[in-house]
Structures are given as C-alpha cells and as structure tokens.
C-alpha cells in the first residue's frame, strides 16, 4: 500500500488484496477531492450537491428541467432533490415555473443570480482542477476515467482471481 495512504488510515500492515487497497485509496482520494470542492462551495454559500444542480440547470439555460430530469443527471444521487431546489429557490439562485403542457409539473431554471454565482466561483473551481491535473499526466487521467467508468458500470465482465 502507498505509504501516505497507509499513514492516512493508520494502517500498519499491508492490505489483504490489491483490489481492496485500490478501493481504499480511491475512497481516501475521493474524500480529499470532496473536501477541496466543498470548501469552494462553502465560500459561495452552497453545498456541492446544490452546485451540481446549478451546473445542470446552467446547461439547460434558459429552458430548465423538471425535478426528475435533474435527478437523473446528478453526479451523486440525492433523494431530497425537492428540498435542495427549495433552498436554491430561497436563495434566489433557481426559480420554478409550472409547465405549460402539464400543470402538475414544475420546471426549475437557473436565475441570473445563479449564473453570476457560477461565473464568480469558476476561477476558484478552476484552481482546484489545476491543482489536481498537475498531479497526473493526461494518460493517467484518461486511465483513471476509464477505471472509474468500469467501476460505475456495475457489471462484472470478467472473473478475476488474481487479487
């Protein structure tokens, strides 16, 4: 196991399987990254989940999305999307309007204030991206993306016994 990860989790003996070691390393790295991005979000008075929603709605600007479409597009699933939208609406970062075609459906749209927040936060997010990207080559980044996609796929394509 990588010494810095061993120290971080106070692990003195090696992991039983290399796959377990890899996943523990992934969790530790993900926590580090989450903390970096959470700090930028907190500086802007939002959570990372709210930031994700704002980015989704910016991509649909000016039309917006219904709640169910936002849920499908989220990086991390959040069961309380309605409450997240309520908080964003209270901060005037999002507005909700009734659909013209189906009055039972509301469409969430990012407001001008929400667009400004994203624009002002972008340099700080870019600084975190730059910090991360200087630690990996392009090839390593592509390999990591491929590995993460395999993990997220959920299907076991081959039986591995060389753990």
pLDDT tens per residue, range 87-144: 999 999 999 998 777 777 889 999 999 999 999 999 999 999 999 999 999 999 999 9
User: Which residues, at least 6 apart from 105, have a Cβ–Cβ distance to it below 8 Å?
Assistant: 66, 98, 99
The arithmetic mean of pLDDT across residues 10-20, rounded, is 69
Distance, in Å, from the CA atom of 46 to the CA atom of 40, rounded to the nearest integer, reads 9
Q: What architecture does CATH give domain 49-152? A: Orthogonal Bundle (1.10)
Strand order in the sheet with 94-98: 65-66, 106-110, 94-98
- Per residue in 55-81, pLDDT tens? 999 999 999 999 989 999 998 888 889
The domain ranges of the chain are 1-43, 49-152
Residue 64: alpha-carbon gap to chain centroid: 19
Closest CA to 85 of 99, 75, 71: 71
pTM, entire model: 0.78
């Amino acid at each position: 196991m990588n010494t810095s990860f061993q120290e971080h989790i106070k692990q003195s003996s090696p992991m039983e399987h290399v796959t377990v070691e890899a996943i523990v390393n992934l969790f530790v790295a993900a926590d580090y990254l989450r903390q970096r991005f959470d700090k930028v979000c907190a500086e802007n008075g939002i959570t990372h989940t709210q930031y994700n929603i704002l980015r989704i709605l910016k991509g649909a600007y000016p039309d917006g999305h219904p709640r169910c479409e936002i849920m499908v597009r989220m990086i991390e699933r959040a069961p309380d999307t309605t409450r997240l939208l309520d908080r964003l609406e209270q901060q005037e970062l999002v507005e909700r309007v009734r659909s013209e075609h189906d009055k039972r459906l509301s469409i969430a749209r990012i407001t001008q204030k929400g667009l400004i927040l994203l624009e002002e936060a972008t340099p700080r997010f870019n600084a975190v991206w730059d910090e991360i990207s200087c630690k990996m080559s392009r090839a390593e980044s592509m390999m990591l993306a491929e590995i993460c996609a395999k993990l997220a796929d959920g299907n076991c394509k081959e039986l591995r016994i060389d753990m």
